Amino acid sequence: MSKFAKKKDGEVPAVSTASLPDIVFMLLFFFMTVTVMKDSSLKVENVLPNASEVKKLEKKDRVIYIYVGKPTKEYEKTFGTEPKIQLNDKFSSPSEVGDYILMERAKKPQELQNVLTTALKVDKNANMGIISDIKQELRKVNALKVNYTTYEGDAFNNLQ
């Protein structure tokens, strides 16, 4: 009994930090659940144009991304300065787009395969030629729903 009665010194007890891990874990789980890992590092310049009539791309699992733009500084030597297509982590030619879409589509669950959107993240300085090639390829594999990803803003800012 005397074992328990001993703790009476009269000093102010230190603030207990025992619940600190709990609080931190709570925050940790919050961020773990909302995190979307960046799946590929960008090898192209990607400054998107502005548009005002935008719709949000909900449900990330239904989106296939295609990046287009000028290769960044470190790849300029090998790939030149003309706008290129980036699929996943590598530069590709327009003819590879169709295969890529089919491959990505096969990876998705069956019920989502018909509702996929292709998000085109295109640098604003790219030319329409490469976009037209991509669009043709998308039509060939019947991936007709596209989203030209933009920043929200005044579209006339693009013209300067």
Partner 1 sequence: MARRAGAPEVSAGSMADIAFLLLIFFLVTTTIETDAGLDRMLPPMEPPTEEPPIIKQKNIFTVNINRNGQLLVEDEILSINDLRAKAIEFLDNGGAPSGSPDYCSYCKGKRNPESSDNPTKAIISLKNDRETKYSTYITVQNELVGAYNDLRNREAKRLYGTDYVAMEAEYLNPETTDDKKEELKEKVTRIQGLFPQKLSEAETSTE
Binding residues for partner 1, per CB under 8 A? 17-18, 20-21, 24-25, 27-28, 31-32, 34-38, 49-60, 63, 117, 119, 121-129, 131-132, 135-136, 138-140, 142-152, 155-156, 158-159
CB of residue 11 vs partner 1: minimum separation in angstroms? 20
- 78 vs 154, which CB is nearer to partner 1? 154
Minimum gap (Å) between residue 159 Cβ and partner 1: 6
Non-local CB neighbours of 16 within 8 Å, separated by 6+ positions: none
For residue 75, the minimal CB distance to partner 1 (Å) is 20
CA distances from 1 to 5, 6, 8, 136 (A): 7, 9, 15, 85
Q: Give the Cα separation of 78 and 74 in Å (integer).
A: 8
Q: Which pair of tokens denotes residue 38?
A: 């960046």
